[in-house]
Structure 1
Amino acid sequence: MAGSLESHDLVCQHLAADGNCTVIAVDYRLAPEHPFPTPVNDGLAAFRHVANNADKFGVGATRLAVGGDSAGGNLAAVVAQQAKDDAHPPKLQLLWVPWVDMSREYQSYKLFATGFFLERVKMRWFKKKYINDDTDTTDPMVSPIFGNLEGVASAVIMVGGFDPLRDEGVAYADTLKDAGIKTKLKVYETMPHLFLMFAGEIEDAKVAFDDATRALRGL
């Protein structure tokens, strides 16, 4: 519902430079004008277009990663699952403060309901604008935590200690591990939601950004 190529331009530039990789940012359509499943379909179509035209993009089709923050983390996780059986599936999913379960509110929603940048009332508003009342919130295309995780890409999951989405990010990491997926969970205890956007100003956020680029360099 928010964010753009412009809002994340510096993040993408630094990921490319520090991660020694090509970053392809996807200008997927946003809710409420384009609610579920349009953003998911856009993300999946974009990934497959890149994978099927890797030479034109100057990238290796066997070394593709998907990533995103918050709702973008949701889309990246869904794409990783839906494309896992493609000829050229993602090899890594880099999920920052991901929203992976729209079926419930975890304890961190209550702990950090107000005063920590992202608030519970705003999350409820986002959900209402993104999905219809009759949408199955356990649909893996909505909540990837309910997906079939067998054979999905390795994951690096980065969550903030003061984020309403903290607990579901941790739960998704545990679910991936239980499915036998190589998963690295990093909880940055002092950080709120979207902390990677402030890596130039906050030392703990810079540490997290370095962790992200290290994961990309190791792909």
Structure 2
Amino acid sequence: MQPLHNSIPQELVPRFDPVYVAYYNAFNAGRLHTHEIPIEEYRRNPARYTISYGRAPGPEIFRITEQKCPVDGGEITIRIFEPATKLDDQSQPKKRAAYLNFHGGGWVFGGLNYDHSFCKRLVHKLEGDLVAFDVDYRLAPEHKFPIPLDDSWSAFNWIRSKAAEFHLDLERFAVGGASAGGHLAAVISHLCRDANIPLRLQLLTVPVTDLHHVFTPQGDFDRKNCPYESYREMEFAPALPAARMAYFHRSFLGVPRLAQSDEDWKISPMLAPNFKDLAPALVFTAELDPLRDEGEAYAAKLVAAGVPAQVFRVPGAPHIFAGLDGILASGRLYNKKVIETMQRELKGVAEAVAPVMPIPGSFGRGSRS
């Protein structure tokens, strides 16, 4: 009997969390990946091709609203997650920290519903001291690089301009995202440093950090020369096979990729010329993810430059583990670690954090920076 299309390779099955294997076999095996569907068809009916099961619902919070943010050539939507306002001893609104979220989806898929529950959970657990902003940046291939990045940077500065409206403390901002969203957050962190804008934390979850050394200018997986063994090891991983990343590369950058320039680090932050004085980082990689090694290599660069960092490799986990917190223990532990870190790093006074190197399998066993 032939295996189902897009089934988990048999040699990888014993390495995955068995709960994930059961989930994947029930909902994904035998289906087309979204990158195998014409983008025009996907845009017409994304719900038909999107599996929403697996995310734990977020708690109720005081208010969720949306505003339009102007960007070059148009506007984008920012979804705002607010707690009830607290007053100080003079009956004035207390200032609150801000977290800007950039969703994943390979710069092609995704939207404001991706991390809706996650943003609610952060606001709830920070107990009135955090406003979360989810950024609906424009997507490739209709809007190729640098538009998703430029939208994200415009959103960051627009939110800073709204500090009085949302009672934000400009000294207590954080950015974060998963996968392509982690790429955007990493680049925004460099832009903040270069502009002398305070940033307390960068949350990089299974981030894309290096497209240049993984793919040819034509957008093909460079199996021979790729410096990251996890790409060869996990070339056919179910959630994010190398072919899917190649599709994202071509959609985001076009074919051929843009000619080499001094701006290449905005595509591949591994190429950034300077890692010093960046915001403290919380980095997660997944053991069974092609992006594992480049995420850990990026974290190592942060550590080598003296950037305070916590780095966790999540054992038995697929690329999408953080979005499956409704069924995976690793997703729930991820939420717990993110919340604990934000509670510490986004307090009124920043605390010094000693950097640590990536430790395989350290997740959930108390590794602490």
- With the length of structure 2 as denominator, give the TM-score of the two structures: 0.57
In 2: Cα distance, 1:161 partner to 1:16 partner: 29
1:203 lines up with 2:329 in the alignment? yes
Q: Could you tell me which of 125, 138, 142 is aligned with 2:267?
A: 142
In 2: Cα distance, 1:144 partner to 1:134 partner: 16
1:212 lines up with 2:338 in the alignment? yes
Is the 1:160–1:191 Cα contact (8 Å) retained in structure 2?
A: yes
In 2: Cα distance, 1:65 partner to 1:115 partner: 31
Q: Could you tell me which of 242, 250, 258 is aligned with 1:120?
A: 242
What is aligned with 1:184? 310
Report the count of equivalent residues.
219
Specify the code of the residue in structure 2 equivalent to 1:107.
E
What is aligned with 1:156? 282
Q: Deviations over 1:138-177 (max 9, x none)?
A: 7111011111222111111011110110000000000011
Alignment of 1:3-82 (within 5 A): 3-20=110-127, 21-82=130-191
In 1: Cα distance, 2:288 partner to 2:126 partner: 27
In 1: Cα distance, 2:249 partner to 2:300 partner: 24
Specify the code of the residue in structure 1 equivalent to 2:267.
V
- Bigger proportion of residues as helix: 1
What is aligned with 1:130? 252
Specify the code of the residue in structure 1 equivalent to 2:180.
A
In 2: Cα distance, 1:65 partner to 1:154 partner: 10
Range 161-170 or range 3-12, more displaced: 3-12
Is the 1:191–1:205 Cα contact (8 Å) retained in structure 2?
A: no
In 2: Cα distance, 1:125 partner to 1:168 partner: 18
Is the 1:97–1:159 Cα contact (8 Å) retained in structure 2?
A: yes
Is the 2:237–2:288 Cα contact (8 Å) retained in structure 1?
A: no
In 2: Cα distance, 1:68 partner to 1:170 partner: 16
SS of aligned partner of 1:81: helix
Q: Deviations over 1:163-195 (max 9, x none)?
A: 110000000000011111111111101111121
Aligned-residue offset at 1:102:
0.6
Gaps of 5+ in 1: none
Q: Mark the structure with the bigger radius of gyration.
A: 2
Given the superposition, is the C-alpha separation of residues 87 and 173 from structure 1 closer, same or farther in structure 2, using an over 3 Å criterion?
A: closer
What is aligned with 2:232? 110
Over the matched positions of the two proteins, sequence identity in percent amounts to 33
Specify the code of the residue in structure 1 equivalent to 2:234.
F
1:95 lines up with 2:217 in the alignment? no
Is the 1:44–1:83 Cα contact (8 Å) retained in structure 2?
A: no
Aligned-residue offset at 1:52:
2.9
Is the 1:70–1:97 Cα contact (8 Å) retained in structure 2?
A: yes
- With the length of structure 1 as denominator, give the TM-score of the two structures: 0.95
Q: Deviations over 1:109-129 (max 9, x none)?
A: 111111431111000110011
Specify the code of the residue in structure 2 equivalent to 1:66.
V
SS of aligned partner of 2:202: strand
Is the 1:77–1:93 Cα contact (8 Å) retained in structure 2?
A: yes
Aligned-residue offset at 1:85:
3.6
- Bigger proportion of residues as strand: 2
Aligned-residue offset at 1:87:
5.0
Specify the code of the residue in structure 2 equivalent to 1:9.
H
SS of aligned partner of 1:12: helix
SS of aligned partner of 1:26: strand
Range 11-20 or range 122-131, more displaced: 11-20
Q: Give the number of the structure with larger relative contact order, counting CA–CA contacts within 8 Å between residues 6 or more apart.
A: 1
In 2: Cα distance, 1:82 partner to 1:155 partner: 15
